[in-house]
Amino acid sequence: MGENKDRMLAGDWYLPDDPQLAEDTERRFVLCAAYNAGGGAAAADREPILAELLGGLGRDVRIRLPFQCDYGFNIRIGDRTFVNFNAVFLDAAPITIGADVQIGPNVQLLTPTHALDTARRRAGWERADPVSIGDNVWLGGGVIVCPGVTIGANTVVGAGSVVTRDLPAGVLAVGSPARVVRALVD
């Protein structure tokens, strides 16, 4: 692996325009284009593309077109998860999605962050923190999950919310930034 890719995977500062990372980006570009071009093909016919693109793919996962990611190999999706239209998963760090998760349209799962120092930011430095979504979570349409966030199992995040901090299991959270408004009870 290249030095920048090693740094990226370790969660350290790295330069994303590294030639090896460019190779990984090209791989992602080809696989996402093939997956997204298959609009008329049955989901089962496109599943091998997802299996090659992603780091882990559970059974009966459905991802509607179009789908975009940074690399793909850092994304793991659990069984029976549904991802609606226009999902963007920036996976410079691991993105782990549990089983039975419902992800609304236009949801963004973001792991990269940039330096606040203007000179470092201008130079292109970034780092990434993992995102983890527990089992049976529902992310409403347009939700943005920021770097380093963990959302506990059975939690619901209301449409348009921006999740900047961890959310516990079994709650309803809404707003920007998202805040817990109540516990969910079966």
For the question of residue 114 being annotated catalytic, the response is yes
Of 176, 167, 181, 102, the residue nearest 139 (C-alpha): 102
CA gap 16, 24 in Å, rounded: 11
Q: Nearest Cα to 54, choosing from 26, 77, 24, 21?
A: 77
Catalytic residue among 114, 120, 121, 165: 114
| 40's tokens | 């008329």
Residue 145, judged by CB atoms within 10 A of its CB (0-12, 13-18, 19+), counts as: buried
Active centre residues (catalytic): 114
